[in-house]
Amino acid sequence: MIIYGVYIVSKSGGLIFNLDNNVPRIEHEKTFTYPLDLVLDYDPKKVSVSFNRKDGINVGHVLVAVNGMPVNGATLEDGRDVKTTLESPDNFPINLKFSRPKMTTNEKIFLASMFYPLFAIASQLSPEPKSSGIELLEADTFTLHCFQTLTGVKFIVISETGLNGMDLLLRKVYELYSDYVLKNPFYSLEMPIRCELFDNKLQELLLQVEKTGINNIDK
């Protein structure tokens, strides 16, 4: 049982907590000949694929190593420029390793703000009044589970596909939030959650779920 992450979105749509629990680092390694048949975007912070795909390497994947040498931003560990290295025919054949990009905090905040109106649209599309909105979104590689409290706070868990009983886990996360965040006299509603005790208890819960299953979290 794999839980990839936990997110909490405030009633106004802002991301107030996120935990990356078990995000897989999918890597693809391939030896290329000159000229390189992938179009790369050389941003100072990262080198990523902007066009074309090959052997599992897709648009958006980030370059993490050249001939086994780690890439830091747009430079190699030894200080050489990645673009200059890849544009020189003398360096080929060359081994490149790509991985799926890790989301930044800003990207997570943006996605949380996008989920808020989608949740509202789903509620309005319901043929029955007082719809609970989005509770489950399934994709081929993950499942999104959502629980909204009476005050409008949304608890989101990203897991592997095919898991049952996730509503029990969501409510358990809500209990931890109520016990360790809302009862914290230094916490202000709608503000980012910075509570070490809540972090520790949540990680303990997720570890227990992955080891023993959802049905044993109260035991």
Regarding whether 198 and 120 lie in a shared domain, the answer is yes
Rounded to 5 degrees, what angle do the CA atoms 13, 15, 16 make?
115
Q: Which residue has the higher pLDDT, 17 or 140?
A: 17
Q: What is the mean pLDDT of residues 58-68?
A: 93
Mean pLDDT for 125-140 is 87
Structural domain for 85, as ranges: 27-99
Cα distance between residue 45 and residue 75, in whole Å? 9
Q: Which of 45, 76, 99 is the last residue of a domain?
A: 99
Same domain, 92 and 132: no
Q: Which two tokens stand for residue 6?
A: 């936990």
Statement: residue 9 has pLDDT above 90: yes
R_g over Cα of the chain: 21
Number of domains forming the structure of the chain: 2
Query: Domain boundary residue among 58, 83, 99?
Result: 99
- Alpha-carbon distance of 28 to 41, in angstroms, equals 18
> Same structural domain for residues 36 and 83?
yes
The two beta strands, 62-66 and 94-99, are: antiparallel
Q: Is the peptide bond before 35 cis (omega within 30 degrees of 0)?
A: yes
Of 76, 99, 122, the position where a domain reaches its end is 99
The rounded distance, in Å, linking the Cα atoms of 100 and 49 is 10
- Looking at residue 52, which CATH number applies to its domain? 2.30.42.40
Average pLDDT over residues 78-106: 93
Question: What are the strands, taking DSSP E only, across 103-161?
Answer: 136-138, 143-148, 154-159
